[in-house]
Structure 1
């Protein structure tokens, strides 16, 4: 039985890792230590999981003490993005295996530090890119791996985040690049990893444009230019169209989301001195909400990517072209938040010479389109040996996803193409 410690007792940690250890995989592992900066999080966690009442608690500067006293096999890293690198490296130095939430770190240089630490450790890093495990995405991988498309030449990926989910990033700590790396790292690293995995090529150069179009003080729907507001107490509530879209006048909306379920209610109780309802029009926001990017890969493929964090609905459009065919798909994520009927997602295959084939994919229950349960099985039971291709992500996968995201915002800021490998060979500034 493996012994686990958790660094960062976030809601994500509780939902994605602690609950499965306690309820689903209790015969395979046990949680032996919790580490966080906020004692309130221990209380929330142990109220939810009474089985953990005797699990010891540690402050961020007590990592070594935690390892000595609990003798774990694995450290799970699930706190704020900018804290990942320190716990991953400390865990590797202690010889532990690491399971870390994406992004693995917030900068390419810190990712390189992790790779170097891993090379000198008996431990190994796993990055939880759960979107790989979505059945639709696994089917796309199968089609490409079986050469149905021939050699992949180009990818078009357009991602849409709706006004509920999109605005939430600007209410929370994600709004500061120092904490999240910006959304081209925090969010888009998911998407870059998918493309890297699908086509099995390495990104080498990025050119991008980006802007803060919707949020921040210059947002066109800002009812009044003033800083320091909170949605729950703001006197401008009734004049804010983002707030009115998802809240009634009598109480906050109870809209569910697999990332931020109950955020408006639970977040205020879970963290000391932190509110997840900060104003989306604050001047302190220093990240972008809109990107377009072109990515060049080492075997010649080109990616055309865009993402927008203030759309009427959530989902993506994907097309992948190859020398022998093309595949297309569109997903509407969280259809209960879409104000119109949506079609079932299929994968459409167009051979270069021949008729269209519509592929229906068997669905799975669970978060991220059924990806979360399959990922958890690989994490806690070991990788499924029947798969013909690897799915579980390692440190280099995590590094290339982050480096591509960093290259995007740097290209936006510096008005030039950015070499991905150059970012990975830079020394960390932290």
Structure 2
């Protein structure tokens, strides 16, 4: 039987914002003709039932992922749980003969990366990592320009990402604020950015020298409370939010917090927060390319600046997501030649998450006959290399020493 003669049987573990949204109701809206849910799993039964209704499926629900795999025999498991639990879910599904799609980052430690890669080799199943930024129209165009050779051989890259006081602060309200759960934003958030670099450059990072600090959130804050909803400082705190004003988040998290104690509006100034909010890294690639990278989490703007410096010219983009001035609903890539005219390539933003990247990724994974001429689809090794770049950055920032990336993976000839 042709693999697309029937719908792909998909199970989902983790029904929070990303799971219930992008990989739940949006997946069915975009790819429902090729996909059917056969099981949903979350440790929080209240959230699970609400997510099932929001997704619009009658699939059975489970609080134990192993029981779900056994009872439903899916073709694919989608993993949207907390980052540090990904590896357990992935390995269990591979050993059950199930292919995987995992939210980024694939996992949080070198040891967990090795476990996943070994299980994938041993079982012969496939792991896909949801690197949706590769699929945005702008990223696709940048890759095509670089492949064209217009700017010659790339020698260095400037890559700077800005999270504003809405999005950036949100990481410090949630479980992401703890190294043990997220691996830090060098792993959780920057895995996107490191993967883009690896894909754009078609090379692996060799060495990382990084710095990181907690300047604004956590113990650096002027006061703190248990959570926004009950905080005595609400009237004077710029970061106070009312979760009740967001019906989606309120539905998924507020009442369900009675079951597991997880609040979606925890204080961004909690003293126990132990990740960086200000980060920079110098990355040397095996190809010789030098990268200057930074990530800042409390800016008045949201977006990034990216530039590739080549032997024949430069490609540059400043992408605006949120800022205090009006910009066109498009991106502009500048292709500048050392001896010749400059070119402006304008790319309209597409509907859906990540400027159309979410929809394009879903269609790549589930639409019949999808092709991948640019190598946008990312497997377990791509997931591991991006995670290990972040792991190396955390180690370097903690020790003050440069860290080699490949030895963390323990591949042959990795020294």
Q: Are residues 215 and 21 of structure 1, via their aligned partners in 2, closer, same or farther at CA, if it must alter by over 3 Å?
A: closer
Matched, 1:379 2:376: no
Out of 229, 247, 250, the position equivalent to 2:226 is 229
The equivalent of 1:155 in structure 2 is: 157
* Aligned-partner SS, 2:318: strand
Q: Are residues 47 and 160 of structure 1, via their aligned partners in 2, closer, same or farther at CA, if it must alter by over 3 Å?
A: same
| C-alpha displacement of 1:266 | 4.7
Q: 1:401 and 1:328 mapped to 2: Cα distance? A: 22
- Provide the alpha-carbon RMSD of the alignment: 1.9
Matched, 1:410 2:412: no
Give structure 2 stretches of 5+ with no counterpart.
1-6
The equivalent of 2:283 in structure 1 is: 295
CA contact (8 A) 2:150 2:313 kept: yes
Q: 2:68 and 2:83 mapped to 1: Cα distance? A: 21
Length-normalised TM-score, structure 1: 0.89
CA contact (8 A) 2:21 2:55 kept: no
CA contact (8 A) 1:377 1:383 kept: no
Q: 2:110 and 2:285 mapped to 1: Cα distance? A: 17
CA contact (8 A) 2:164 2:297 kept: yes
The equivalent of 1:118 in structure 2 is: 120
Q: Are residues 190 and 382 of structure 1, via their aligned partners in 2, closer, same or farther at CA, if it must alter by over 3 Å?
A: farther
CA contact (8 A) 1:109 1:425 kept: no
Q: 1:21 and 1:290 mapped to 2: Cα distance? A: 34
| C-alpha displacement of 1:144 | 0.7
Q: Are residues 286 and 382 of structure 1, via their aligned partners in 2, closer, same or farther at CA, if it must alter by over 3 Å?
A: farther
CA contact (8 A) 1:150 1:325 kept: yes
Task: Kindly provide the CA deviation profile for residues 83-104 of structure 1, in whole angstroms up to 9, marking residues without a partner as x.
Answer: 1000101111112110000000
Task: Kindly provide the CA deviation profile for residues 269-301 of structure 1, in whole angstroms up to 9, marking residues without a partner as x.
Answer: 344321011111111101000001000001100
Equivalent residues in 2 for 1:191-340, closer than 5 Å: 191-219=193-221, 222=222, 224=223, 226=224, 228-243=225-240, 262-263=248-249, 266-271=252-257, 272=259, 273-333=261-321, 335=322, 338-340=323-325
| C-alpha displacement of 1:158 | 0.7
Matched, 1:422 2:407: yes
Q: Are residues 21 and 317 of structure 1, via their aligned partners in 2, closer, same or farther at CA, if it must alter by over 3 Å?
A: closer
| C-alpha displacement of 1:168 | 0.7
Range with bigger deviation, 308-317 or 267-276: 267-276
| C-alpha displacement of 1:389 | 1.6
Q: 1:348 and 1:133 mapped to 2: Cα distance? A: 20
Equivalent residues in 2 for 1:93-112, closer than 5 Å: 93-112=95-114
Matched, 1:47 2:33: no
Q: 1:40 and 1:402 mapped to 2: Cα distance? A: 32
| C-alpha displacement of 1:356 | 1.3
CA contact (8 A) 2:47 2:252 kept: no
Equivalent residues in 2 for 1:384-403, closer than 5 Å: 384-385=370-371, 387-403=372-388
Q: 1:382 and 1:305 mapped to 2: Cα distance? A: 38
* Aligned-partner SS, 2:186: helix
Q: 1:47 and 1:252 mapped to 2: Cα distance? A: 20
The equivalent of 2:4 in structure 1 is: none
Q: 2:182 and 2:287 mapped to 1: Cα distance? A: 30
* Aligned-partner SS, 1:354: coil
The equivalent of 1:66 in structure 2 is: 68
Q: 2:248 and 2:44 mapped to 1: Cα distance? A: 20
How many residue pairs match? The answer is 402
* Aligned-partner SS, 1:389: coil
The equivalent of 2:60 in structure 1 is: 56
* Aligned-partner SS, 1:27: coil
CA contact (8 A) 1:3 1:74 kept: yes
Q: 2:13 and 2:243 mapped to 1: Cα distance? A: 31
* Aligned-partner SS, 1:402: helix
CA contact (8 A) 1:185 1:406 kept: yes
Length-normalised TM-score, structure 2: 0.92
Q: Are residues 194 and 143 of structure 1, via their aligned partners in 2, closer, same or farther at CA, if it must alter by over 3 Å?
A: same
The equivalent of 1:258 in structure 2 is: none
CA contact (8 A) 1:21 1:30 kept: no
